[in-house]
Structures are given as structure tokens and as C-alpha cells.
Amino acid sequence: MKPKIGIIYSTVDGQTLKICNKIREVLQQNDQDVDLISIDDFNEDITKYDKLVIGASIRYGVHNDKVIEFIKTNKTQLDSIKTAFFSVNLVARKPEKSSPETNPYVVKFFKTIDWKPTVVKVFAGKLDYKKYSFFDRKMIQLIMWMTKGPTNTDAEIEYTNWEKVNEFAISLIAL
Ligand SMILES: Cc1cc2nc3c(=O)[nH]c(=O)nc-3n(C[C@H](O)[C@H](O)[C@H](O)COP(=O)(O)O)c2cc1C
């Protein structure tokens, strides 16, 4: 029987989901059996999967609480299969902050949670000012100003490196 791969995601504006869709597409093109499920709807027994991927975006410095709860609740099952975790954020647009060892959110995340996935990745997300509320727009402008990114509120920039996503998806086959 083919190994079963589960992909669980937490997204707000859709970029993490877009990355997950790409991963699923690459895996399916390679004849893999894949389920893609939002963390909000996930009710399966984790051990029905041979491999589980969790993808989550950063908002104001942290991943969604639901992701943290999910990992804590299911730690034993997660430790019994192959797992991958990836984080999506804008700081990762800078090459020197785009690895699990150098991305501040990912470094902090694994300091605060008792879980060691088989693989960890970081992908740069999307900046899209017009999608944000007034407050969020001002905050992101401030963050961008501090990190020397675009502050023009017309900016819509997808920083995601799709080749890196593709490589990650392929690497899951051999996991
Ligand atoms: C309200 C808000 C807060 C954010 N906070 C951060 C942050 O603290 N650090 C960062 O690198 N990116 C931050 N981002 C950027 C998101 O991580 C990025 O846009 C990502 O692509 C969002 O993925 P999603 O659409 O799957 O939620 C923030 C975005 C928004 C809208």
C-alpha cells in the first residue's frame, strides 16, 4: 500500500494554504496519496498517516494557538510517524532569516514546544496591504519600515520561493 501523507494547515490570508496546495500538487504528480485539511477541521486519527506535514503562518510573532495545542495534545502520535513542520512569515524574505536555524519565530517556537519534527522548513509569505484592516496595515507598515521592506500601501508582493516549496515537497517522498 502507498504511504499516506496528511497536510494540516493554519492560514489567515491564504498564503500557507497556497503553499500546501502546491505541495499536494507536486506529491500527487508523483503518485502519492495526500489529504489536505485545515487545522480547524482536523478530526482524524494521526496514526492513519505515515507522514504528517503541519504548515502555519506567523501573525504578530506567533503561530496560531490551535497549532500549538494540536502539537501538545498529539505529541505521542506525532512522535510515532514521520513529521514535517513549516512556518510562513515575512521576515523569511531575507535570505539570512529564511532557515529554521536563523528564522527568529521558528527558533523561538522550538524553544517553547516539546516536539522535534523530522523536517523543519521556513517559507517567505506574501505582503498584501489591501487585504489588511486599518490597524493591521499600520502595524505591518511599521514592521516593514523597521525591517527596510516596502511601506507603500499599494504593495502586493509574493516573496514565496516556489522552487524551495517544490524541493520540500519532493523531499517528503523519501522521508
Ligand atoms: C496582522 C498580521 C501580522 C503579521 N505579523 C508578522 C510578524 O510578526 N512577522 C512576520 O514575519 N510576518 C508577519 N506577518 C506576515 C504574514 O506572516 C505573511 O503575510 C504570511 O504570508 C501570511 O500567511 P497566511 O496568509 O497563510 O496567514 C503578518 C501579517 C499580518 C496580516
Instruction: Write the pLDDT tens digit of every residue in 82-141.
Output: 999 999 999 999 999 999 999 999 999 999 999 999 999 999 999 999 999 999 999 999
- Residue-wise DSSP of the chain: -PPEEEEEEE-SSSHHHHHHHHHHHHHHHTT-EEEEEETTT--S-GGG-SEEEEEEEEETTEE-HHHHHHHHHTHHHHHTSEEEEEEEESGGGSGGG-STTT-HHHHHHHHHS----SEEEEEE-EEEGGGS-HHHHHHHHHHHHHTT----TT-EEE---HHHHHHHHHHHHT-
CATH assignment, 4-125+160-173: 3.40.50.360
Q: Is the pLDDT of residue 44 over 90?
A: no
pTM for the structure as a whole: 0.97
Domain locations in the chain as residue ranges: 4-125+160-173, 127-159
Does residue 126 have its Cβ closer than 6 Å to ligand 1? yes
**Per-residue pLDDT tens over the stretch 18-27:** 999 999 999 9
Protein residue whose Cα sits closest to atom 19 of ligand 1: 126
5 CA to centre of ligand 1 in angstroms = 26
